[in-house]
Structure 1
């Protein structure tokens, strides 16, 4: 197809006019090459030292940031080896060349550490070395980017020092139990005070729910969960009450529970501070007892005169009619009964005095609880039979053992059975139930009697308090029986409590005692003394997991180094020879498989045992870790007892 051409313009005469010559445009400057733009960009950067190395580590370029940070002019440093920037100790152990090898093998390496300026001063550097490849994939050199992080490092060091000081302060406080709970109430930290007050080692309690510290009746009533909810709603909550030690003994605790939130107001957990206030509680009770002393003295006079009056009358009758055998026999019976009552009052008074003076001796032995119950029933049956009452024993095939004094423990249960009989109508049933809950044995005695007012439940075990309700005839006694029972049970490291639905609805008294466990059981092997401790290396990019495991192992007496990546792990073994290295498999840049191969190249680590940490436990993964050079395979979450078994033979080998 022909293309139409534009017509030439016509002049006034009809002739085509001569076209005017256009003014030529000035020539455009040549477009800059792309690499020149990047070169200009790199050379103008002053916050980072950016330069190139050849395959041997010789410097081939130098930017403004390198001059500012390191102090060399380009003419002074190009052609020199980059190891000039490293301290002598790093050069001596071949670290600069090791960095190039790792960058060549993995494509890049990130490191941080001390570097040296031209004037000899040091700065803390963050370094990234990246391997450069040609089109054929061959390494042709390296790009090196360095940033001066000295100020950041110093700030971080100050923060770590502050955190470490605070951590050591908390860990070493012994008068208070200070520990953290996660949002669900599980223990995540443990200090020396917690170990001293509650009796648990860190390895025994971390990960368990804090309700283990509460008596069974508080757990059944949901008190631990209620306190957590109150702390969540109000920020903190304070409470006082009985708490349970590891050995089953109880102590009176003052507790503050505080909710901990992060900067986004997300709940991180709870801080729990507990103080053993048992001594204060005892002093308060002694003061309350002293206030009742006048009342007691009046009661004592009354109770002693009660048996003396019939004894005096009976003996007077026998003196006047000694020849009347039936009359003498009847009055002798009166004297015998009143003397038994008087003897019991005096014995109780003497026991209270011995306990107050700390002179009540216990003849302890390992006892079957059925043996204790049988002795108590034998002593209390006359009182029950006299009131036509029935005893229903519910032992549920339970026969645990306790370490205690048979006479004193039987005395406590007998006292509780006689009290149940005394405060219950004739012909009613008294129930004795025996149960086992973990390492605590419980014996409960329930009656269908007059009950206890709610406001009086906390006082019934106080000295000289009597159980008669207003308007009710006195049943006799000095008000020391239940106080004596509590003192005896506490000497056995147990507890005794009273419960009632109210006046006229019966009462239940419960005795809890720690049971005898296997006395041959040894201390868990993880908690070796410091002289038996191992050098342990933990490598895990999950900082919380690494730090918490490291702290736990330190508290067990081991020397621990923690690294959060492979490069830091390689640096750490230059001056630290671990007996055991625990290595996470799934880490960025250098995973656990690559790291263990690198560590196996260090001659001084030939005795080190390497264990893989992973969330997978399939046989295929275990075979792969074995091929990679691991001595064992540990599945997350790490079971501390299993870890102890792993460390035990290593510790024996490491011991001199």
Structure 2
């Protein structure tokens, strides 16, 4: 430019040196400074001021060891760092350093020796970076990872392990050691299929589990798994794929829990619920069956009584006699059927007495021989030393005969029927599984070698009218009758059976103690021929008319009443009454309530209770003599004779 002095350009070396100095001075994230050969500070940039807290005037000329901790200086570390830089051409390390205010920071330090063209040492270039925040972050991450590792390692209820992409075990926690029994050194590197059962491995289950986890993002299942000692446990298994940020499969996280106890508890709960349901179902069926049997008994009473009276009035040789006899036989079979129904419903009338099971079984040998036939071998083992039981011997004999006949029918080609009896003490531990109370029992057992029953058949075996014998070959009431009798005696019927392995029926009867009683001598029917004034009470006209006709045919004078209140009114107006024959199940006033009312006004008047039920309310009325429906005229006459004989 005219008139202006020309600018004199600086040498290139001066420009480069100046620019480099300005660059170094401006850096704030790194402390960049120079040391002389003895380690004294000769330059100081803004980064050094910010990181270490010293102004240039405060530190230039001072030895760089000032930045070291006291213990590092005592160990001669500053001198060693310079010696290392000279020997190796570079020193690099991370360590604690000290600021002007005495606080420490984590520093990344690089020291390089500086030499001139002739190789003479001019000093050292030193670069320091404050990594305190990064180190804190890394330390926090390390602690987090360590805590997570300790957390996983410390879990003992869950087996947690990591698998590589091929399914080999790469980590193993304490829970896995406890549940599966392997120490890390025994299992790391082995394939996780080691824990599967042999049949599952053969079916390809391990590979399928990994494929499902990869395909669906998760695999979950409950199944049997195998411990190191070969025992099996029921496991809950979850397998999740582990991937990196790019989605590459790194392996699998596998969590296993031993839920064998929980499974058993659940199964026990289900069994208890099923037992409760079965009990409630059988109780409901029992109530229905008992009601039907009672009504049926009433009808049979009228049928049987009328048939008897008609037959007596027909002349000998009348061709209608055969038809009446046939009808009578059918009615009696109906009566036997209702007795079985009442037995199932636990409403049959029992006449309990002390008895010896051994003597009872021994007395039935000839009956068994005739019933079983030549193809069946009978094996009896009933010790005479068994304690006596209190039972209705007729009912127990019928129950035992039912069990023996069932055993025979289960072996159409023949076999062995084993009848045995043992005295067993049921403890508290045994009581729950046997559904019995604690105490001593005689277990009367009938065992066959027949075709057995599957689980579904066994579950229904004691239901009334359920039979596997085919149409016309069984009523389905045999086992239900035995079941009801056992319950009524305070015991139970236990059935054990498997297809192709036969059936064992166990009748558990509580031990009574004492000596078996001899049967009582029969009471002579001396009053059967004497004419009595009898009040007959029943709300069913069919029954009442039939009963009155049977009594009149026996020579008695009969007054009838259709309810308890009518009976009390008739009783008040009758000049003389020898006996009251009353039904139990009547509306308004039951037979037992009528008995109690009669006791208040006529305490010495004998009463005979005719009923199709066995269960009556507790009280004085339960001691009243009873006549079970359906009954024949002979039964009625015998009952009257017994009642009148007892009054003397």
Q: TM-score range by the shorter chain?
A: 0.3 to 0.5
State the structure with more CA Rg: 2
TM score, norm. by length of structure 1: 0.44
More relative contact order, 1 or 2 (CA 8 Å, 6+ apart): 2
